[in-house]
Amino acid sequence: MGEEAVKKKRHRELSDLLNSYSEQYYVFDDPDVSDARYDALYRELLEIEREFPKLKSKRSPSQKVGAKVPKIFKKVQHSTPMISLENAFNEADISAFIERVKKVSVTKDVELILEPKLDGLSASLIYNDGILTSASTRGDGFVGEDVTANILTVSSIPHKINMGRGSLEVRGEIVMLKSDFQALNKERERTGEKLFANPRNAAAGSLRQLDPTITASRKLTFFAYSAISTEKSFVSQSEILDTLKACGFVVSNKTALCKDQSEAFRFYKKIEKERAELEYDIDGIVYKVNDLSLQKQLGASTKFPRHSIAYKFPAEKAQTTVLNIITQVGRTGNITPVAELKPVTVGGVVVSRATLHNKDELEKKDIRVGDRVVLQRAGDVIPQILYPILKERPQHSVPFEFPLTCPCCGSILVREENEAAIKCINLSCEAQAIERLIHFVSKPAFNIDGLGDQNIRFLYERGIVKTPVDIFLLEEKNDELHLENFDGWGEISVKKLFKSVIAAKTITLDKFIYSLGIPQIGRSVSKLIANFLKTYPGFLKYIKNNEQNDLCKIQGVGSSIADDFNNFFKNENNRKIVIELGGDENFPGVISVSEIKEAESKIFSGQTVVFTGNLKKFSREEAKELAEKLGGRASSSVSSKTSFVVVGENAGQKIDQARKLNIKIISEDEFIEMTKDTQM
C-alpha cells in the first residue's frame, strides 16, 4: 500500500472518530474523550490534509462546526454563521497568527483584545426593539436549536434592554459556576441521581431540556461576548463589551487590551496561573483583533474567523491550595490521609479532594495544610497531588502529624511488618461498617440505586441499617419508619429504592462474594473463587469447615489472598451475616444466590478481550461476564497480551491503541455472531 493510500485510510479513520466525538460533545453533552486527546487527533488530521489537500471534503471535521441539531428541538437558521475558533497550542502559533493579521493591516500595529475562552454552551439571543424575542444554541454553526423558553428562565439574561429600535443579536456562553455545579451535584447525590461529570455538561444538559421548569431550577449564567446590530455601528470589540455590560449582561472581567505580542503572552500566563481560582471554567484565552473594520477585512474561512484564535491551556494539570488534611477509615480498616482542596477544575472535572495514599507517601511529598500544590488527574480519573510549590509555602507551616489512634473509634492504630498501610483493627469501628455497607450496595456488587453514601450514613446513624441484612428488610419496616417523610427522601425516591432492593434479591455467587468487602478479593478474584466453589451451598460448606488450603488450588489465587479470605470467615459475625443473607439448612435467608454454571463452550479460552465504546445489545458488565463464562479474560486496558477488541459506538482511545499494536478489532455484532451458538 502506497503512502497516499495509507494516509487516505488514516484520514477516514480520524474523520469517523472526530465526527463521533463531536456528536457526543455537542448533541449528547457527554464527551467521552479529553480536550487534549481530541486536539491531538484533530492536528493529525490537519497535517494529512495539508499534505494531501484533495482529502478535504464537506465530511471532514476540518470543514464542520459542532454537530447536527437533534430532532427534539425546533431548528433555527442563524443570520450569520456561528463558526468556531481555530486553536493555538504554543507561542509560535500565536506569533504566526499575528503575522498573518499584520499582512492585512494598513498600520501594521495590531491591537488585540484578550478574553477567556469559556467552557460552556454557545448561544445566540435576538432582541427586537429592545425585547428578547428568541434564543438558540450554536448547533452546527448554521442551524441551531430553539431554546427560547429555557433561556427566559436564566436570571442573568435581561428580558429588556435599552438599545432603541431595530434588531440586536447577542452571542455568548451559557455556563454553570463552580459553586452552583457543586450544589447541584450534591443535591443529585442526595436524591440518588446520576452526577454530572463537569460544569460544561451540567450547563448544556440543563439548557437543552424539553421542560423549562427543569432549566429554571438550575443556576445558569450567560456571559456575553459579541453583538451584531442592525442600527448601531460598533467600531471595536472593546466597545461591544462595554455596551453589553451597560445593557445589563454579564461580561467577563478577565479581559485585556494588548498593544503587542509580549504583553499578550504575559496576560495569558497570568490567567493560566489564576485559572483554578476563577468561578467558572475556561480552557484557554481568545486573541481577537480589536478593530472591527480590520476584522471585516480579514474575513473567515469555511470554519474559522481569521481575526480570532483560541490559545488553549494545557489540560492535564492545575494549581490549588490545601485547605485541610484529614484521615479516613476504609472498609478494611486502612487509614488514608486525604487533602481537602480549594475546588479546582482539572481535565474538565471539579476536584475538591485528593487522596495522599498513605503515611509514607504523605511524608515523602511533604504535603502540608496551606500549601499551594500542583494537581493532576492520574489516568484522567483519580485526582493526584504531584508536589507542593515550596516557594509559596506559608511561613509558619508545619508537617502533618499522622494520628496514633483511629479517627472514628479511638482504637490504637497498628502497622504490620513490611506493609505501607496503617490500620484500625477494631471490627466494631463504625467507619468501617459504613464503608462496608457502601461497598455492599455499589454497582459491581448488589447495585442498589438510591443508596448513595449520604443515604447509607443517614440510615446507619439512625440505627435503621446496621448490617447488609437490614437493607432487605427496609420495605417491611417502612410502615413504622415512613422514610418518605424524612428530608431528602420523598415518596417517589423511596418507591424507586424498594424496587431496586427487590431486583437485587437475586445475585450471582461471584458478585455476592465481592459484595462482602474481603481484603484482596476484588471482582476478578471473586469470579475465580465462585467458579471453584460452584454453588452457594458449596461456598457455605467451605466457610463453615474453613478448609484452609483449598483456595490455593485456584490458578491466580495465592496464599496471601487465600489467607485474607479464610481469616475473614474466622470471624463469627461475618459467617452469621452470610447465613442471614443467603440462608442455610436452618435459616431461610433474605436473598437468592445463583449457581455458577459451566459454559458448554470455552471458545475464548486463554484469550484476553477488551470492550470499548457504547454497546447496544449488552451493558459493559454483561459483555465482560459473557466473555469470562466462555473462558476468556475481560480486561479494561489494551496491551500486547490483548487478543481482540470489541468496539461499540463512540469508541475512545483504546481503538487507537489496538491499531498501533496490530490487535484484531471487531464490532459488537461480530462478537455476538461468535457467541450465538453458546449457552449463556
- The 3-state DSSP class for residue 168 equals strand
Spot the catalytic one: 117, 178, 527, 629: 117
Residue 496: what residue type? K
Rounded to whole angstroms, the Cα distance separating 215 from 212 reads 5
What b-and-e string marks burial along 325-344, b requiring 16 or more CB atoms within 10 Å of the CB?
Answer: bebebbbbbbbbbebebebb
- CA 542, CA 550: separation in Å to the nearest integer? 9
Residue 117 is among the residues annotated as catalytic for this protein? yes
Cα Rg of the chain, angstroms? 29
> How far, in Å, CA of 444 to CA of 164, rounded?
61
Q: What's the CA gap between 611 and 644, in Å, rounded?
A: 9
Give the distance between the most distant pair of CA atoms in the chain.
Answer: 95
Q: Is 279 helix (H, G, I), strand (E, B) or coil?
A: coil
| Beta-carbon contacts of residue 456 (< 8 Å; ≥ 6 apart) | 434, 437, 438, 441, 465
Tell me, what DSSP letter sits at residue 407?
T
- Distance in angstroms (rounded) separating the CA atoms of residues 18 and 650: 9
Retrieve residue 251's grid coordinates.
Answer: 461580561
Whether residue 150 contacts residue 207, with contact meaning beta carbons closer than 8 Å, is answered with yes
- β-bridge pairing 131-137 and 121-128: antiparallel
What is the rounded CA–CA span in Å between residue 359 and residue 400?
A: 10
3-state SS assignment for residue 189? helix
Burial 174-207 (b: 16+ CB within 10 A, else e): bbbbbebbeebbeeeebbbeeebbbbbbbbbbbb
| C-beta of residue 454 within 8 angstroms of C-beta of residue 188 | no
| End-to-end Cα distance, the chain | 42
Reading the block at residue 554, the C-alpha cell is: 485456584
- CA 289 to CA 87: how far, in whole Å? 15
Within 13 Å of residue 397, how many CA atoms lie on the same side as its CB?
20
Nearest to 642 by CA among 622, 659, 623, 619: 659
- Coil, strand, or helix at residue 132? strand
3-class secondary structure for 544-613?
HHCCCCHHHHCCCCCHHHHHHHHHHCCCHHHHHHHHHHHCECCECCCCEEECCCCCCCCCCCCCEEEEEC
Write the DSSP string, 633-663.
EEESS--TT--EEEE-BT--HHHHHHHHTT-
CA atoms lying within 13 Å on the CB side of residue 473:
14
Q: How far apart are CA 294 and CA 297, in angstroms?
A: 5
Q: What are phi and psi of 256, to 5 degrees?
A: -150, 140
Which SS3 state, helix, strand or coil, does residue 360 take? helix
Asked if residue 80 lies in contact with residue 226, where contact means CB atoms within 8 angstroms, the answer is no
Sign of CA dihedral 236, 242, 246, 247: positive
Report the alpha-carbon distance of residue 181 to residue 189 in Å, rounded: 12
Q: Say whether 69 sits in a helix, a strand or coil.
A: coil
**Which residues participate in catalysis according to the annotation?**
117
